[in-house]
Each structure stands twice: as structure tokens, then as C-alpha cells.
């Protein structure tokens, strides 16, 4: 039997540097208004998986999602999780529009061991270069600043993604949406981007992040390609707790230069 989860979407990036979340800019790109960030739509998709498998999902689960249409601020997003042979097929709909699809499963085997020597640490530059084929070239390594998982940070995020499941506060676990946010930081802390759009991610969880820990991400650009006029970057990322314990291995995809900007010479 399918599980349905409804949430009032909230655009917590109204004031971010990425103006695609601003109503006026988004409308210039043909959208109704500012887009709710893909990482938060992804966070909504995690709800049925965590409801199904509990904290085990955050220790050895896997989830992917691709975003086809935007979810808008203040609108109801309906997440449907349909059991399949080895997991849950996920879909997101808002106002009758299919917005995203994905899949979640609980792996029987523990995640593979990670050798941190294969993941060199990097720090964001003091002066970020403008996003370009050179600054987002395949093979480049990126890093983030630290996110401290303070009680306030954790509580604010649960509020902003409208997450009421008691597991996070009762068992002392950070919401997995914060894990994926670190992958956005790999882009935003290393380059100056114009309007850009997160289009999909795949996570393999290794462990849950906990209050009092800090998160960082390390990532290598694995592709920078053209798709229907959009310039798309893909990052193979590792999110770490306290710089040592793997939390998730992530493939993160984003349109860093929409075709509208390319056509305008931007």
C-alpha cells in the first residue's frame, strides 16, 4: 500500500545569493515564482523512507531523486511512496503537476569502507572565481567550510522543512536534508554563480549526523556538460562528520548556467 505525505513547501532561500529563489528572477526564467530549493524537496522525499526504516535508513540506506518541475513556496507538495520489490518508488506532485521522482531502499550490506586518503581536503578560496568551464572543470577538488550542528541549527531546519517526525529530536539525529545542503556548498562556496538549479542527487548513507558534530564536504567534479543548452555540473561528494566519519556519499547534479543565460551571452 502506498504511503502519502503532504507538506506545505517553504522557500527558505528567498534571500540567498541564488536569485532563482527570488520571485522576480524566477519569473524572468518562465517560472511562476521563486523555486523551493531542490535540497528541501529532497528532504521531503526522505520522510517516508525514514518512516519505513527508521535510523537504519540513515546508516545504510540509499535514496535518489530527480527534479523535473518546481515546487513553489506555500504550495502543498504531496510525496507518494509506493512499495516495490526492493524499496520505495517516490513521486512528488504539487497542484496537479508531477515535480520529482525518486527511489529509496535499505541496503542489506553495510556501506563500503572509505579511505580518506582518496578524498583530499580542500578549502574554499578567499576570492571565489566566477562559475565557468574552467572553474568547474572535471577533475577539480572542492571543499566546504564547517557547518556546526548546534541545537538551533537543527531545530531551525526541522521547522523550515516542516518535519514533525519525533525521531530527530528524540534520538538526537540531524535531518538528512542538511547532509545534502553541504553538497550545494561545494558549488556556492567555491564559485560565484548566477541563477542556478539543483536537478538531482543520489545518496548512499554511511552514518547519521548528530547534534554537537560538525559537517564538511569534499568533492570532485566528474562532469561539466551541455544538455539542451543548459550547462550541467556533476560532483562526486563525501560528507563527513567532524572531518573523519563518513555520513554520506553523494552524486550531485546542477544546472550552473541555464540556457536562458547562455542565449543572452551571460
pLDDT confidence of residue 224:
96
Mean pLDDT estimate for the chain: 90
567534479: which residue's cell?
A: 221
pLDDT band of residue 15 (cuts 50, 70, 90) is: very low
Taking only the tens place, the pLDDT of each residue in 106-120 is 999 989 999 999 999
Whether pLDDT at 261 is above 90: no
Give the bridge partners for 240, in sequence order: 216, 246
pLDDT confidence of residue 14:
52
pLDDT confidence of residue 13:
53
pLDDT confidence of residue 46:
96
More confident residue, 254 or 73: 254
| Local structure of 87: helix, strand or coil | strand
pLDDT confidence of residue 195:
81
Give the bridge partners for 251, in sequence order: 202, 236
Average pLDDT of the segment spanning 12-17: 53
Taking only the tens place, the pLDDT of each residue in 143-164 is 999 999 999 999 999 999 999 8
pLDDT confidence of residue 38:
87
The set of residues, in sequence order, having a beta carbon less than 8 Å from that of 156 and lying 6+ positions away, is: none
Whether pLDDT at 19 is above 90: no
Taking only the tens place, the pLDDT of each residue in 43-95 is 999 999 999 999 999 999 999 999 998 898 889 999 999 999 899 999 999 99
pLDDT band of residue 266 (cuts 50, 70, 90) is: low
The CA distance from 134 to 213, in Å, is: 34
Taking only the tens place, the pLDDT of each residue in 216-242 is 999 999 999 998 888 999 999 999 999
The CA distance from 250 to 222, in Å, is: 12
Length of the chain in residues, anyone? 266
More confident residue, 143 or 25: 143
* pLDDT-above-90 percentage for the chain: 76
Domains and CATH numbers, the chain: 3-108+115-263 (3.10.129.10)
Query: Which helix H or strand E contains 184, and what residues bound it?
Result: helix 176-188
Asked if 239 and 179 touch (Cβ cutoff 8 Å), the reply is yes
pLDDT band of residue 122 (cuts 50, 70, 90) is: very high
DSSP 203: E
Whether pLDDT at 28 is above 80: no
Distance of CA 17 to the CA centre of its chain: 17
Amino acid at each position: 500500500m502506498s504511503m502519502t505525505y503532504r507538506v506545505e513547501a517553504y522557500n527558505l532561500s528567498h534571500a540567498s545569493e541564488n536569485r532563482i529563489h527570488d520571485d522576480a528572477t524566477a519569473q524572468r526564467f518562465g517560472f511562476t515564482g521563486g523555486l523551493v530549493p531542490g535540497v528541501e524537496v529532497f528532504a521531503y522525499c526522505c520522510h517516508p523512507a525514514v518512516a519505513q526504516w527508521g535510523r537504519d535508513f540513515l546508516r545504510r540506506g540509499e535514496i535518489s531523486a530527480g527534479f523535473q518541475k518546481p515546487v513553489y513556496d506555500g504550495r502543498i507538495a504531496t510525496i507518494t511512496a509506493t512499495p516495490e520489490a526492493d524499496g520505495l518508488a517516490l513521486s512528488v506532485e504539487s497542484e496537479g503537476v508531477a515535480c520529482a521522482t525518486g527511489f529509496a531502499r535499505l541496503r542489506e550490506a553495510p556501506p563500503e569502507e572509505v579511505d580518506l586518503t582518496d578524498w583530499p581536503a580542500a578549502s574554499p578560496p578567499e576570492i571565489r572565481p566566477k562559475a565557468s568551464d574552467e572553474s568547474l572543470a572535471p577533475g577539480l577538488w572542492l571543499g566546504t567550510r564547517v557547518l556546526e550542528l548546534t541545537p538551533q541549527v537543527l531545530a531551525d531546519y526541522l521547522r523550515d522543512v516542516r518535519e514533525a517526525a519525533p525521531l530527530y529530536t528524540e534520538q538526537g539525529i540531524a535531518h538528512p536534508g542538511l547532509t545534502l545542503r553541504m553538497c550545494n556548498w561545494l558549488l556556492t562556496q567555491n564559485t560565484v554563480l548566477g541563477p542556478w538549479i539543483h536537478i538531482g542527487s543520489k545518496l548512499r548513507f554511511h552514518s547519521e549526523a548528530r547534534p554537537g558534530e560538525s559537517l564538511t564536504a569534499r568533492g570532485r567534479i566528474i562532469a561539466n556538460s551541455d544538455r539542451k543548452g543548459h550547462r550541467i555540473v556533476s560532483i562526486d561528494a563525501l560528507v563527513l562528520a567532524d572531518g573523519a566519519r563518513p555520513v554520506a556519499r553523494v552524486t550531485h547534479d546542477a544546472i550552473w548556467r541555464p540556457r536562458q543565460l547562455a542565449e543572452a551571452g551571460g
